[in-house]
Amino acid sequence: MPELPEVETMRRGIAPVVGYKIAAVERPRCRLKPIAVQPELAQFRRRAVGKRIERVGRLGKRVLVYLEGDEVIVLEPRMTGLVLLADPPNREHLRLCLHLTTDAAASSPRETHGEGQTLSLMYWDRRGLGSVRLLSVDELNHRYREGILGPDALEISVEGLRERLGNSRREIKVALLDQKAVAGIGNLYASEMLFLARIHPKRPCHTLRKSDWQKLHTAMREVLEEAIRYEGSTLGDGTYRNALNQEGGYQNHHRVYARAGKNCPRCGHDSIVRTVQAQRATFHCTRCQREGNWS
């Protein structure tokens, strides 16, 4: 957490920064474990300050802020990072601030009566596991090239999904978390999409039929797009927030995740269970996702 829907929500939420210039880069004082910021701050400032933001993108579970001059700021939230425009949940875990401005000479719809506007793009991280990197576009393409990061889960075709995972002997739930195969899927949404596709999470990839891959691909798109519409999932710890420091809403629509012992929304029985795969919690319905004698 955050996964593709949360990061896509962050991307959409900070879209208003496009057209602004970076006026200053601030690293607030923080007594906690520092996040990785590359290059070191003085060089980061020299390369970023004065640059205009041209567009905002997403690469798997990373937010990309493209600057003029073929450079890009890569914000990787990892477990507890947030990308914000509004006041952060607290100041203690605020890790980096980009102070933005428009100038009176620029032709921007945000300007009023010829005066420049200001805005702050903030990176907040409770556990300090995330990172902020300023890369050239060439460095970005090399760092996340084919073989290191797979196609985006919202863009991959059913044929591509089957080609990348179909010969694997790994359990399908574990395989879906492999970012080298498919980018963006995490633990929560893997459980949700396998439930929707009626596939047992421990079923080996190589035993899935062509029809199973089609069902999984359809479920993958449905779950991710639905979660994006609800602006992601804010779980019990309350960490995830959108760019305006508001909760997501998809946690109210989870079918199986974190619902062990509760009734299945499809069959109606109290058959949702929690298991562990690759040291991660998995949730499924024992009636709708039956375990079989796979070969």
Catalytic residue ranges? 2-3, 61, 280
* DSSP state for residue 112 in the 8-state scheme: B
Reference 47, options 98, 122, 106; nearest CA is 98
Report CA-CA distances (Å) from 270 to 106, 263, 288.
60, 4, 11
Reference 217, options 236, 196, 241, 231; nearest CA is 196
* Contact partners, residue 149, CB within 8 Å, separation at least 6: 59, 60, 179, 180, 183
Element (H, E) at 133: strand 131-136
